[in-house]
Amino acid sequence: MSYGKSNEDTSFFYDPMFTMSITINGQLLLMMLSEKLTTSIKDLEVLQINTDGITIKVNEIYYDKVKEICRWWMELTKLELEEVHYSKMIIRDVYIICVLTSLIDGKLLRA
């Protein structure tokens, strides 16, 4: 089944219960990750968290610890996290977020 089509009322795959179960489960799993990060790393700041991602700000001295926690979470949930480094993030409100990505190892990372 296609997740995107599951919330379109004109689609053959329309199934709001399926859509909500995926969305809510994802939110709960990200909250578990957020809780583990914030309780394990005192200086870590959660900038935003939504249905499909979490953005954190952390001193680079904790980078290895963040990676360790993320690996633990991915093994537990069987989900994959992506990593993007921002040089600047501007948050006006929950709907308006602007980011400038960074060049890492010669590769432009985008969000």
Structure tokens at 9: 């009322």
Question: According to the model, what pLDDT value does residue 103 have?
Answer: 55
Over the chain, what is the mean pLDDT? 84
- What pLDDT does 76 receive? 97
Report residue 111 as tokens. Answer: 């969000």
> How far apart are the C-alpha atoms of 6 and 15, rounded to whole Å?
5
The per-residue pLDDT for 104 is 53
CA distance 23 to 109: 25
- pLDDT value for 102: 62
Q: Tell whether the model's pLDDT for residue 108 goes beyond 70.
A: no
Please determine, for residue 109, whether its predicted confidence score (pLDDT) is greater than 50.
no
Q: For residue 66, is pLDDT > 60?
A: yes
Count Cα atoms within 13 angstroms, Cβ side, for 35.
6
Residues 54/48, Cβ–Cβ less than 8 Å: yes
CA distances from 90 to 71, 86, 98 (A): 28, 10, 5
Mean pLDDT over residues 90-97, rounded?
Answer: 73
Token code pair at residue 35: 């809780």
Task: Give yes or no for a contact between 14 and 7, defined as CB atoms under 8 angstroms apart.
Answer: yes
Question: Tokens 């957020």 — which residue?
Answer: 34
Tokens in use for 46? 């959660």
pLDDT of residue 79: 92
More confident residue, 108 or 93: 93
The residue with greater pLDDT, 30 or 110, is: 30
User: Does residue 74 carry a pLDDT above 60?
Assistant: yes
